[in-house]
Amino acid sequence: MKHVLRQARLSHGALAENERHGFAARHALCIYRSNAVYSFIPKNACTTLRYSLALDNGAIAGPEDFGWIHHNNWTFSASLRDLVTAHSSFVLLRCPFARLASFYLDKIVGQLPPAPRLLPLLPHVASLRHLSFRQFALAMLDPAIRGHNNHWCPQSDFLVYETYSAYFCLERFAEASEGIERMTGLKVQDARALGRHDLSRFTRDGSARYCDVPAQEIAALKARNLVPATEALYDDEIVAAVCQAYAEDLALYRDCFGSGTLTFP
């Protein structure tokens, strides 16, 4: 299919100086054997997909080389020619409510990079250990904070094309994996056991409301193999804030997949 670059024509200046295009292009990775492009979005199974891509592109041989991917985020980034001549393309989207909750429970509660970059943006917060999910989510209403890091910025920022050959969603990952392999030949290799930063191994607790619980208390829960269920981190105020801050992401998700797999349809 012919691809049209989504961000390029937003500025009539030199494309090399178009920051929005540059951001999306860096996150567009080449699948060489099938001449396909995959737009990777942090917190959207990106470790599994980047590991699978490194295997398929012949850069690594197996699990013993897993650490390679964390030092080669941009090794397979597409050139302008790659973007224009790609035979096919895909992006994996995620429920915006779940993506934000996943970052909080993984990086903020775990005190892991890039979470410390948040602290200078939140002068009223003394320590990430004290940061509640409400404080984090409401901060996303500020465009400067929302766009500060690729782990929590809108998924729409990563879209290098106006239209992709295929859109998949994390909430239907088995279906997505089959579709990706069918379209590109890329066999998706589950890397969760290698990365050990996903939440699938924890028991989800939906019996209480965790909106205002400090991160350090949730860390204590994680030590007991428990994490809040996604919906337990939200109330009406936080849902409304995420709907406002990530309106474009929600609209795209609904257009592609309907509302049935959103945490809050």
| Every domain of the chain and the residues it spans | 8-257
Residue 1: what pLDDT?
A: 87
Give every residue of the chain whose pLDDT is below 70, as ranges.
196-197
CA trace torsion 27, 193, 133, 205 (10° rounding)? 140
CB proximity list for 134: less than 8 A, separation 6 or greater: 211, 212, 235, 237, 238
Under DSSP, is residue 255 helix (H, G, I), strand (E, B) or coil? Answer: helix
Token pair listed for 134 = 């409400």
Is the dihedral angle over the CA atoms 67, 68, 72, 75 positive or is it negative?
Answer: negative
Burial code (b: 16+ CB inside 10 Å, e: under 16) for 129-149 equals eebbbbbbbbbbeeeebbebb
Residue 200: what pLDDT?
A: 82
Residue 198: what pLDDT?
A: 76
In 104-132, alpha helices (H): none
Residue 193: what pLDDT?
A: 84
Tell me how far apart the terminal alpha carbons of the chain are, to the nearest angstrom: 32
